[in-house]
């Protein structure tokens, strides 16, 4: 059965001290919550990963990296490999975030290589994708999403899908305060399951968790998360405040 997931993408926020403080607050505030079927993931910057990974070790909170390089090691100044992430206790990585695609020129082809490198290291992947505003306006969103999934993930063997979490993040809803309506999210998530079912099978399509991301906050989470094919959220701004983040975890 697929899991509900609330993941906080801290982006380039919080130095080491602030990261340790935030994760401590989240752990404390979640203590009395049974979490039911919900996984809770936080993704700090690289400099805080090791310390945050240590802090969450005996808790139900998990830690993810925001990016990684596709090659194991070598002359790639400023980059970090899957092997390096594993060495500090990180087993989950976010790949394909629209900010990586837009500002750091990450193409579908590069992302497919990153996906392979992460899987080779038995890492779980939160794979992000989503259309920009012009595509939504011209009703091209389904083609865009389909091609991002095909190019980034559809080369995988069926068994690899156990390690994939999907995050549909329409770019026009990220950091804008404009959320996709619960109906728009549901429509896209159902479409995603349909194309996965066509390519692989119904079981894989039903078992993969599909998160929605883009201006999710406590005020709108309940309605979005209640949709049949929405299994949780990838949260930016609201994940930087422990009260808001924990409220989101409790929104199911
Ligand atoms: P916001 O929640 O700030 O819109 O960011 C969403 C996001 O990009 C999560 O990866």
pLDDT band of residue 76 (cuts 50, 70, 90) is very high
Catalytic residue among 99, 106, 131, 169: 169
pLDDT of residue 63: 98
Helix intervals (H) in the chain: 16-30, 46-56, 82-87, 98-103, 108-120, 133-137, 141-153, 182-199, 202-207, 218-225, 242-249
pLDDT tens digits, 233-251: 999 999 999 999 999 999 9
| pLDDT tens per residue across span 102-144 | 999 999 999 999 999 999 999 999 999 999 999 999 999 999 9
3-state helix, strand, coil in the chain (%, to 5): 50, 15, 35
Residue from 90, 157, 170 nearest 129 by CA: 170
> Distance (Å, rounded) from C-alpha 193 to C-alpha 32?
34
Residue 69 pLDDT exceeds 70: yes
pLDDT score, position 139: 96
Phi, psi of 222 (to 5 degrees): -55, -45
Quick check: 192 and 154 in contact, CB under 8 A?
no
Number of H helices, E strands in the chain: 11, 8
What pLDDT is attached to residue 235?
Answer: 98
Q: How far apart are CA 34 and CA 11, in angstroms?
A: 27
Residue 169: active-site member: yes
| CA–CA gap between residue 108 and residue 133 (Å, rounded) | 19
β-pair partners for 95 = 127
Q: Which atom of ligand 1 is nearest to the CA of 215?
A: 4
Mutate to test the pocket of ligand 1, among 97, 101, 236, 239 (most ligand atoms within 8 A of CB): 236
Q: What is the pLDDT of residue 31?
A: 84
Q: What is the pLDDT of residue 34?
A: 66
Judge whether 155 counts as a catalytic residue: no
pLDDT of residue 37: 78
Residues 25 and 15: their CA atoms lie apart, in Å, by 15
Mean pLDDT of 217-227: 96
- Reported residue count of the chain is 252
24-49 pLDDT, tens digit each? 999 999 986 667 779 999 999 999 99
The average confidence (pLDDT) of the chain is 96
213 CA to middle of ligand 1, Å? 6
Is 213's pLDDT higher than 70?
yes
pLDDT band at 177 (very low <50, low <70, confident <90, very high): confident
What percentage of the chain has pLDDT greater than the value 90? 94
Buried b (16+ CB within 10 A) or exposed e, 77-104: eeebbbebbbebebbbbbbbbbbbbeee
Read off the pLDDT of each residue in 218-228 and give the average, rounded to a whole number. 96
Residues near ligand 1 with C-beta < 6 Å?
9, 97, 169, 174-175, 213-216, 234-238
Q: Residue of the nearest CA to atom 1 in ligand 1?
A: 236
């Amino acid at each position: 059965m697929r899991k509900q997931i609330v993941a906080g993408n801290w982006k380039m926020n919080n130095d080491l001290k602030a990261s340790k403080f935030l994760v401590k607050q989240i752990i404390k505030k979640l203590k009395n919550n049974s979490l039911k079927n919900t996984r809770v993931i936080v993704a700090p910057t690289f400099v805080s990963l090791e310390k945050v990974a240590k802090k969450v070790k005996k808790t139900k909170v998990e830690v993810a990296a925001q990016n990684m390089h596709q090659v194991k090691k070598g002359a790639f100044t400023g980059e970090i490999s899957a092997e390096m992430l594993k060495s500090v206790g990180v087993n989950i990585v976010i790949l394909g975030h629209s900010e990586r695609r837009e500002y750091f020129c990450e193409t579908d082809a590069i992302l497919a290589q990153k996906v392979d490198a992460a899987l080779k290291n038995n890492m779980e992947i939160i794979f992000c994708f989503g259309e920009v505003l012009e595509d939504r306006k011209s009703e091209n969103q389904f083609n865009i999403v389909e091609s991002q999934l095909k190019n980034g993930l559809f080369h995988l063997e069926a068994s690899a899908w156990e390690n994939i979490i999907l995050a549909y993040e329409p770019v026009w809803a990220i950091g804008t305060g404009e959320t996709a309506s619960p109906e728009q999210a549901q429509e896209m998530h159902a479409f995603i399951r349909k194309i996965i079912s066509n390519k692989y099978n119904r079981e894989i399509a039903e078992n993969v968790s599909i998160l929605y991301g883009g201006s999710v906050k406590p005020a709108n989470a309940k309605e979005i998360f209640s949709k049949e094919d929405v299994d949780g959220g990838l949260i930016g701004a609201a994940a930087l405040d422990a009260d808001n983040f924990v409220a989101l975890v409790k929104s199911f």
